[in-house]
Amino acid sequence: MRTIFVGDVHGCADELDALLVKVGFTSTDRLMLTGDMFDRGEKPLGVLKLIRLTNAEAVIGNHEDKLLRALAFKPGKGKKRPRLTAPYADCLKKIAPEREAFFAYLKSLPMTISEGRNGQAWTLLHAGIDLKKGLLATNPAFFLYARTHPPMDVPGAPEWFKCYDGKDGLLISGHVPLEKPFRAVRKGKPVAVAVDTGCCFGRELTAYILEEDRFVSVRARKVYYRP
């Protein structure tokens, strides 16, 4: 069995399908997604279908968190409906035939997934951790939004995964759209892997195969979103 981590899919179902073919995905493999899976691209329902077909596991990203809050909103005195930009609104429109199932799926997503076997402890998360406090004491907001150290999202500061010392085991993340996937090694072992390579921006969708310690990527078919 292989453990295959895939970066932010953002509705790019065709690229996810092509990536699974390229890595030779089989029913004995374990597919893990870094979150931010549905909006911006053209096929959120296609992504949901592939998640079901592959029994993929995933963590919640900041984009799922926003979609979840929009779906959970109930009008009432003093309540303000969450404001959605066009990519979010378009995603909810396309997902409408599966609205209830989609809502249930989003609610089921954990902040992190951790495992330790064969001498290698790893944790999947969407964004980052608080390097001063460590994984277990990290405020959940870091799992959704963190990019830099120190602190969260400071312009010009280095990405957190470039500063991480490996004390909490291997951390696999997405969220930060890189030109190329990132892998940090300490004492001969990978300790940080970042696999968001900006597929929705017309770049690549990337997988990291844990047991083979290698990246596999496919090119985006088009530019789906321009920031």
The domain ranges of the chain are 3-219
Examine the pLDDT at 221 and tell me if it is beyond 70.
yes
Backbone angles phi, psi at 46, to 5 degrees: -65, -40
Spatial neighbors of 111 by CB under 8 A, at least 6 apart, are 59, 60, 125, 126, 140, 143, 144
As to burial, measured by CB atoms within 10 angstroms (0-12 exposed, 13-18 middle, 19+ buried), residue 166 is middle
pTM, two decimals, is 0.94
pLDDT tens sequence across 94-119: 999 999 999 999 999 999 999 986 56
| Terminal alpha carbon distance of the chain | 38
pLDDT tens sequence across 128-180: 999 999 999 999 999 999 999 977 667 789 999 999 999 999 999 999 999 99
* Fold exhibited by the domain 3-219: Purple Acid Phosphatase; chain A, domain 2 (3.60.21)
